[in-house]
Amino acid sequence: MDDTKDKLEKLLKVDNFNRLPLFMENAKLIPKKKNLKEYKKITVEKYGTTNFRHTVYRKPISTFL
Amino acid sequence: MNANNQYLTLFANCIPVKGASRSVICDTQHKRVKFIPNSMYDWIQELKSISIEDYQKELNENQIQITNDYIDFIIQNDFGFFCTKEELAWFPEYDGSYESPNEIENAIIDSDDSSNHNYQKIFSQLEQLGCEAIQLRFFDAIKFEQLNKILSHLEQSSIVSIDLALPFSQEWSNEKVKDALNKHPRIFQLTLTSFPATLDPYPNEHRANLVCSSKVIDSNSHCGIIDPKYFRLMKESMIEARDFNNCLNKKISIDVHGTIKNCPTMSESFGNIASTTLEEALNSNGFKTKWFIKKDDIKICQDCEFRYICSDCRAYTQNEDAYGKPLKCNYNPEKMEWKS
Ligand code: SF4
Ligand code: SF4
């Protein structure tokens, strides 16, 4: 469980908004030895992307149409 | 999974918002909004500190069935997950307030045939303020070469996102549009207004978003529209909307006459770009006042479930009240109806 907690804390540091079922899955379903590379692979399988932290922030500047 | 001795928690990027008659869960990662009853919103809040089993102890059979349906809804939609009491502490809610290192985040520069803007000077002043996104709105036809010249000033700029709105003219063939978009990869969106109904809209197949609209946009009076198509399902913008005005915060504008304003449609002037710098305008009295009018302060919007994803308008408001609902909004949160 300590291993899991460490990873979790790492992820929280990177982005508090990251989708975390992945992590819960890590905690519950995936043997502790799994590393972040495998975590990424699982993420891609589940969500099609790991690119959650890089969405471009761009809101409409004005609304005229 | 036996959920009973478990806690149910929402992912931090799935943000529930309560309105007058219903609530929403805004999934800022997968860009989805789902409606939920207000009773479910209240239940989500209560479950933050009590396990499902303890919560259900006080309920009758019918109520238990309802909460079981709520649980299914959360899990099936991937809005939340089960955890133990110990794990609950590992998933703090996002409590951050909006922060940006930039003094200005975005700017609007309007022009028509009467305008005489020194774009190079304007862009360099915007860069000094950290501005990353600009919108150039042309109300009269502009030639390809003229536009190229203006945008060439941005080639080495820290302004990374350019929105353009310009009227269609014969010169703006699909090829010319392609050329412009290829030449200036910082263009985020190009809107061709007054697009002839007789022409098929140009294919939107570029890295930038290309919009062909038959609407005539010949002045700043067209701005201020509130429509679900402008909803912003972004965590940063939801957080910003909690504390600040989500149109005017960190915005600066220059109207067709070179007048520096919060937004080109507003009447209040903070000097002219010919004689005042943007920084001077920004630091003058009253410039930032409207930045702090947040949705929770605005009449009717404060009861609307869309308030943190909706845009806002302070130029056109009901009864010209500084805290009035945007005039061009047709939504009634009490009745949950959009009027056409
Ligand atoms: S305040 Fe209204 S008119 Fe001004 S930029 Fe915002 S939406 Fe447009
Ligand atoms: S009432 Fe209209 S303007 Fe206000 S938040 Fe709701 S949809 Fe947006």
pLDDT in tens, A6-39: 655 655 554 444 454 444 444 443 333 345 566 5
pLDDT in tens, B23-81: 999 998 788 999 999 999 999 999 999 999 999 998 999 999 999 999 999 999 888 88
Amino acid in position B305: E
Q: Which residues of A touch B13 (CB under 8 A)?
A: 17-19
Question: Is the CB of residue B261 less than 8 Å from the CB of residue B310?
Answer: no
The β-bridge partners of B259 are B272
Residue A16 is predicted with a pLDDT of 43
DSSP string covering A2-64, please? HHHHHHHHHHHHH-TTS--HHHHHHHHTS-TT--HHHHHHHHHHHHS-STTTT------S---
Q: In this model, does residue B283 exceed pLDDT 90?
A: yes
The encoded tokens of residue B294 equal 């947040």
pLDDT in tens, A48-65: 554 443 334 478 899 999
Residue B167 is predicted with a pLDDT of 98
Interface of A with B in 3-62 (CB under 8 A): 5, 8-9, 12, 16-21, 24, 27, 52, 55, 57-62
Give the integer Cα–Cα distance in Å for B282 and B279.
5
Give the integer Cα–Cα distance in Å for B25 and A6.
29
Question: Is the CB of residue B311 less than 8 Å from the CB of residue B232?
Answer: yes
Interface of B with A in 236-265 (CB under 8 A): 236-237, 246-247, 251, 263
Question: CB distance B83–A60 less than 8 Å?
Answer: no
Beta carbon of B258 within 6 Å of any ligand 2 atom: no
Question: CB distance B161–A18 less than 8 Å?
Answer: no
Mean pLDDT of B4-17: 85
| pLDDT band, very low/low/confident/very high, at B102 (cuts 50, 70, 90) | confident
Which of B24, B95, B11, B16 lies closest to B336, judged by CA? B24
Which of B232, B277, B227, B222 lies closest to B254, judged by CA? B277
Q: Does A64 touch chain B (CB under 8 A)?
A: yes
pLDDT in tens, B229-275: 999 998 888 989 999 999 999 999 999 999 999 999 999 999 999 99
Ligand 1 centroid to Cα of residue B224, in Å, is: 5
Mean pLDDT of B10-33: 91
pLDDT in tens, B289-314: 999 999 999 999 999 999 999 999 99
Host H or E run for residue B144: helix B144-152
Residue B79 is predicted with a pLDDT of 87
- Exposure class string for A15-46: b at 16+ Cβ within 10 A, else e: ebbbbbbbbbbbbeeeeeebeeeebeebbeee
- Residue in B227, B298, B307 to alter for ligand 2 test, most ligand atoms within 8 A of Cβ: B307
Q: Does A2 touch chain B (CB under 8 A)?
A: no
Q: In this model, does residue B286 exceed pLDDT 50?
A: yes
Residue B236 is predicted with a pLDDT of 81
Beta carbon of B217 within 6 Å of any ligand 1 atom: no
- Indicate which ligand has the atom closest to the C-alpha of B226: 2
Residue with tokens 């203006």: B150
Beta carbon of B314 within 6 Å of any ligand 1 atom: yes
Residue with tokens 């109520």: B63
Residue A33 is predicted with a pLDDT of 35
B interface mutation test: which of A2, A7, A9, A63 has the most B CBs within 10 A?
A63
Cα-only R_g, chain B = 24
Which of B175, B286, B283, B267 lies closest to B221, judged by CA? B267
Cα distances from A42 to residues A17, A34, B45, B104, B131, in angstroms, run: 18, 10, 30, 39, 38
Ligand 2 centroid to Cα of residue B137, in Å, is: 25
Residue A47 is predicted with a pLDDT of 54
Q: Which residues of A touch B92 (CB under 8 A)?
A: 12, 16
- Indicate which ligand has the atom closest to the C-alpha of B328: 2
Residue with tokens 């845009």: B311
> Percent of chain B, pLDDT > 90?
78
The β-bridge partners of B211 are B191
Residue B85 is predicted with a pLDDT of 84
Q: In this model, does residue A1 exceed pLDDT 60?
A: no
Residue B9 is predicted with a pLDDT of 87
Beta carbon of B310 within 6 Å of any ligand 2 atom: yes
Residue B83 is predicted with a pLDDT of 81
- Nearest atom in ligand 1 to B225's CA: 7
To the nearest 10°, report the CA torsion of B84, B87, B91, B95. 90
Mean pLDDT of B162-181: 96
Residue B162 is predicted with a pLDDT of 93
